[in-house]
């Protein structure tokens, strides 16, 4: 495989990312004392950062590789929405497919860290289904762009954008145009994604959806995958297994060990995996090779604190080292 040619081909791809968009706020500081009012740590703040999270982080990862990412979702009409749109502009992502709902808050997750360790998280969000008006807006915009797309990513955090009805509309439309659909699910709508191309749950999500306890062994994973794939009727099942890497289930099983890199923070790694997985597949790679590259990409972002997009130069070097063995 020519890594140079592959990475150049990414720049020709157009991928829609549909799902729950978040603003990630990080407050960094230092804990040196306990509050005299309540037995909780006092964080002396050193600095703060804002980053794109959820479906927006998937789009950032795809865009970082040179591809064109189109982001569909819902925000509020508040200061967090303004901050989110400013970040999107900085990343050269268009906000034309975002619906602003004044009756909903923009999902914002504030993480407080001390010495790069998470102390607490504060969430502002609504988990209610988005309005029919918002859903119709996104569907109409998707219909207008579907013919130009190489793939669609559905990034579900159970914040109300991906309702069962909307999911069915997306998969039906994509199927009619032969556009592959990649799904990063959450439990609430887990079994609504029947007929998708690639379904990427993690270990906990599979166990919860099937109502079983699940050890992270190849044998138990394979047994659970057979049951899940039969129910979902997806072409490929890709299970992220934390320190055990990835398992792919289609007409066979492929186990890919985790990239052996130092882990600082796993935040956003799943976003990176689904984004790079879809990009590799759209570029003509088989699902196994796409998953290997996505696994390497996740390994590079886990070296950073907080959700960060993949660095194409780091991923290029990791791919060259991995595939030239």
Model pLDDT, residue 267: 60
Query: Does residue 31 lie within any of the structural domains?
Result: no
Query: Does residue 36 lie within any of the structural domains?
Result: no
Model pLDDT, residue 193: 95
Query: Does residue 121 lie within any of the structural domains?
Result: no
- Classify the phi-psi angles of 28: left when phi > 0, otherwise alpha if psi is within -120 to 50, otherwise beta: beta
pLDDT per position in the chain (325 positions), as tens? 788 899 999 999 999 999 999 999 999 999 989 999 999 999 999 999 999 999 999 999 999 999 999 999 999 999 999 999 999 999 999 999 999 999 999 999 999 999 888 899 999 999 999 999 999 999 999 999 999 999 999 999 999 999 999 999 999 999 999 999 999 999 889 999 999 999 999 999 999 999 988 888 999 999 999 999 989 989 999 999 888 889 999 999 999 988 755 655 556 678 999 999 999 999 999 999 999 999 999 888 876 666 678 889 999 999 998 887 6
Q: Which two tokens stand for residue 70?
A: 């189109």
Query: Does residue 85 lie within any of the structural domains?
Result: yes
Query: Does residue 118 lie within any of the structural domains?
Result: no
The candidate with the shortest Cα–Cα distance to 160, out of 98, 88, 82, 104, is 104
Encode the chain in three state secondary structure. Answer: CCHHHHHHHHCCCEEEEEECEEEEEEEEEEEEEECCCCCCEEEEEEEEEEEEEEHHHHHHHHHHCCCEEEEEEEECCCHHHHHHHHHHHHCCCCCCCEEECCCCCCCEEEEEEECCEEEEEEEECCCCCCCHHHHHHHHHHHHHHHHHCCEEEEECCCCCCCCHHHHHHHHHHHHHCCCCEEEECCCCCHHHCCCCCEECCEHHHHHHHHCCCCCCCHHHHHHHHHHHHHHHCCCEEEEECHHHCEEEECCCEEEECCCCCCCCCCCCHHHHHHHHHHHHHHCCCCHHHHHHHHHHHHHHHCCCCCCCCCCHHHHHHHHHHHHCC
Distances (CA, A) of 145 to 92, 179, 271, 274: 18, 11, 23, 21
Q: Which domain holds residue 250?
A: 3-22+53-107+126-323
**From CA 237, how far away is CA 16, in angstroms rounded?**
20
Query: Does residue 194 lie within any of the structural domains?
Result: yes
Across the strands, what pairs with 154?
18, 183
Q: Which two tokens stand for residue 256?
A: 């890919």
Cα three-residue angle 188-201-210, rounded to 5 degrees: 60
Query: Does residue 119 lie within any of the structural domains?
Result: no
The CATH number that applies at residue 303 is 3.40.1190.20
Model pLDDT, residue 262: 60
Catalytic residues: 271
Query: Does residue 33 lie within any of the structural domains?
Result: no
Residue 106: CA atoms inside 13 Å, Cβ hemisphere, count? 24
User: What's the domain count of the chain?
Assistant: 1
């Amino acid at each position: 495989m020519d890594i140079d040619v592959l990475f150049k081909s990414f720049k020709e791809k157009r991928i829609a990312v549909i799902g729950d968009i978040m603003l990630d706020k990080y407050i960094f500081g230092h804990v040196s004392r306990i509050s005299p009012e309540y037995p909780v740590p006092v964080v002396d703040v050193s600095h703060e950062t804002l980053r794109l999270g959820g479906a927006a982080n998937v789009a950032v990862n795809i865009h970082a590789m040179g591809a064109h990412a189109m982001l569909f979702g819902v925000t509020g009409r508040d200061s967090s929405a303004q901050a989110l749109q400013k970040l999107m502009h900085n990343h050269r992502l268009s906000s034309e497919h975002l619906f602003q709902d004044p009756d909903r808050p923009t999902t914002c997750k504030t993480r407080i860290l001390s010495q790069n360790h998470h102390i607490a998280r504060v969430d502002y969000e609504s988990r209610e289904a988005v309005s029919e008006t918002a859903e119709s807006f996104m569907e109409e915009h998707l219909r207008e762009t579907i013919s130009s797309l190489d793939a669609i990513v559905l990034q579900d955090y159970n914040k109300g954008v991906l309702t069962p009805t909307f999911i069915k509309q997306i998969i039906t439309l994509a199927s009619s145009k032969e556009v592959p659909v990649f799904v990063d699910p959450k439990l609430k709508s887990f079994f609504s994604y029947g007929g998708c191309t690639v379904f990427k749950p993690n270990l906990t999500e599979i166990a919860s959806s099937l109502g079983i306890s699940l050890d992270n062994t190849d044998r138990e994973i394979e047994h659970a995958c057979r049951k899940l794939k039969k129910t979902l009727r997806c072409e490929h099942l890709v299970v992220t297994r934390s320190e055990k890497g990835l398992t792919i289930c289609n007409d066979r099983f492929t186990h890919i060990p985790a990239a052996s890199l130092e882990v600082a923070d796993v935040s956003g790694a799943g976003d990176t995996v689904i984004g790079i997985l879809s990009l590799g597949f759209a570029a003509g790679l088989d699902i196994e090779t796409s998953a290997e590259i996505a696994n390497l990409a996740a390994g590079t972002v886990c070296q950073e604190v907080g959700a960060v997009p993949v660095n194409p130069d780091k991923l290029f070097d990791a791919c060259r080292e991995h595939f030239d063995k």
